[in-house]
Amino acid sequence: MNLFTLDELMVIEASRYITNGDVVMVGTGLPMVASLLALKSHAPDMCYVVETGPVAPDVIPTPTSVADARVMHRSVTNGSLIGALGGILHRGLADVGFIGGAQIDQFANVNSTVIGNYSNPKVRLPGSGGANDIASHAKKILIITRHELRRFPLYCDYITSPGYIDGPEGRKNAGIPVPYPDIHVVTNLSVMSINKTSGKLTLSKLMPGISKETVLSNTSFNPDSGIPLQEVAPASEQELKTLRDEVDPKGIYIKRV
């Protein structure tokens, strides 16, 4: 039996939502790790596009941000933010947009701007970067974060990047180019996916050993769909080896067992 942490499985499970041949627009942090894992395992023909401009780089482990030179190594083109977002994302060429966030609410809206009141916040966060563009233009949105009650409020304190905004027609009413994207939120406790009828997140999978009650007690809204839940497939030996040896060998993002 392979021993793995739930943080490791969170990254592995998120990578599984990328398919071979996808053009993936990658945001900073854990999205870089999960996307690189997909590239080095089951999706060797995906196109890894960093929001700051590098396209199809040979990433050197382990970059700490999208401005790290290690995401620029031997890239097909080492362009600009405008080139990546305008030339690829805004033209509708991104199959997957991969972001993180400090808060994710019931409509899959993401906050990476402020905690508390915007004018007098408790915490001021880095802001959007390319996350708003990614969430607005990608055909599928992947969000990865560790699951804590404070990260999953009923409503975000500020919407940096749109999910379904306020309901099933929220994106369409706001004029967002991709009105009905697939959205999956992968955490160390569960996977939640958007229900396009309600425009809200619902539980679809539980991490091994995690109960539905644990997820609900760490979420300020009720994502329970009432249907039987799947369990996230355990990490395979090859997935763990690739993550540990090739993607994050120094454990910068993911601590090992």
Which active-site residues does the annotation give? 51
Backbone angles phi, psi at 101, to 5 degrees: 175, 160
End-to-end alpha carbon distance in the chain: 13
Q: What is the DSSP letter of 247?
A: I
C-alpha 91: how far from its chain's center?
Answer: 21
Q: Quick one: CA torsion of 116, 119, 121, 127, rounded to 10 degrees? A: 90
Angle between helices 6-15 and 30-40 (to 10 degrees): 60
Contact residues for 223 (Cβ-Cβ < 8 A; gap 6+): 106, 192, 200, 201, 202, 203, 215, 216
Cβ-based burial of 198 (10 A; exposed 0-12, middle 13-18, buried ≥19):
middle
Q: Are 184 and 154 in contact (CB under 8 A)?
A: no
Task: Please state the φ and ψ torsions of residue 151, each to the nearest 5 degrees.
Answer: -85, -10
- Rounded distance between C-alpha atoms, residue 103 and residue 201, angstroms: 14
Pairing of strands 103-104, 96-99: unpaired
Q: Which two tokens stand for residue 244?
A: 């540990």
